[in-house]
A and B are shown apart, each in its own frame.
Chain A
Amino acid sequence: AQSVSQHNHHVILSEAASLELGCNYSYGGTVNLFWYVQYPGQHLQLLLKYFSGDPLVKGIKGFEAEFIKSKFSFNLRKPSVQWSDTAEYFCAVTIGGFKTIFGAGTRLFVKA
């Protein structure tokens, strides 16, 4: 069955530390890839997405993600986190052009 795995359920970092959140999916066909974020008290919102082309995509607030097809991965990165990045981050994959599968999420806490 298709699935999306996020390796870390909880991450605690100090401000200015670098961030990398892992995401792997299991599906051999064409995919579209997303990272969504949910800040405390807010709705889920799009952080960045990959459809085709350059596998390194840039999103809002200095986030980026790299699609590595051979590894079925789409890891999220940020060189220097801020306290305001405290949130829950969800990786999502659309398969077959229409079905979206979410990972379990990673809760990030950034210490000021």
Chain B
Amino acid sequence: EAGVAQSPRYKIIEKRQSVAFWCNPISGHATLYWYQQILGQGPKLLIQFQNNGVVDDSQLPKDRFSAERLKGVDSTLKIQPAKLEDSAVYLCASSLELSTDTQYFGPGTRLTVL
């Protein structure tokens, strides 16, 4: 079974630039999550989708971050404009149903904002 795919694996940008990350969950998984993991901290949930609807985006900085999952399969997370404090690993995960299920994580995208 293929795992959660993410791209790119690494990205370096300057502050005020924009960046986008892509995630393809495990086939058949209805729930998709985006997490931000700052160095030395645990993953922080940014947004959670159930199929193509948003379940929780309470910790998403909506003035600069956006995410979509238009067809209920793959998803894109965008940051515009980026700030220095956005430097982190962005993790995508998926689960069969709600987050009471095991979450399967992708390799993450390491973002550095200069």
A interface, CB within 8 angstroms of B: 4, 6, 32, 34, 36, 43-46, 49, 51, 90, 92, 94, 97-105
Contacts and interface: CB of A to CB of B under 8 A. Distances in A.
Contact of A98 (B3, B55, B105, B108): B55
Given A43-B105, A43-B106, A98-B56, A51 B100 contact: yes
Interface residues of B, number: 25
Given A43-B107, A44-B105, A100-B33, A94 B99 contact: yes
Contacts of B98: 97-98
Contacts of B55: 98
Contact of B100 (A6, A32, A90): A32
**From DSSP, what is the main secondary structure of chain B's interface residues?**
loop
Contacts of A45: 104-105
Contacts of B107: 43
Contacts of A92: 42
A84 B45 CA distance: 29
Given A32-B100, A94-B99, A94-B100, A101 B45 contact: yes
A92 B44 CA distance: 11
A24 to B, nearest CB: 14
A100 B103 contact: yes
Interface in B54-98: 55-56, 91, 93, 98
Interface in B26-68: 33, 35, 40-45, 48, 55-56
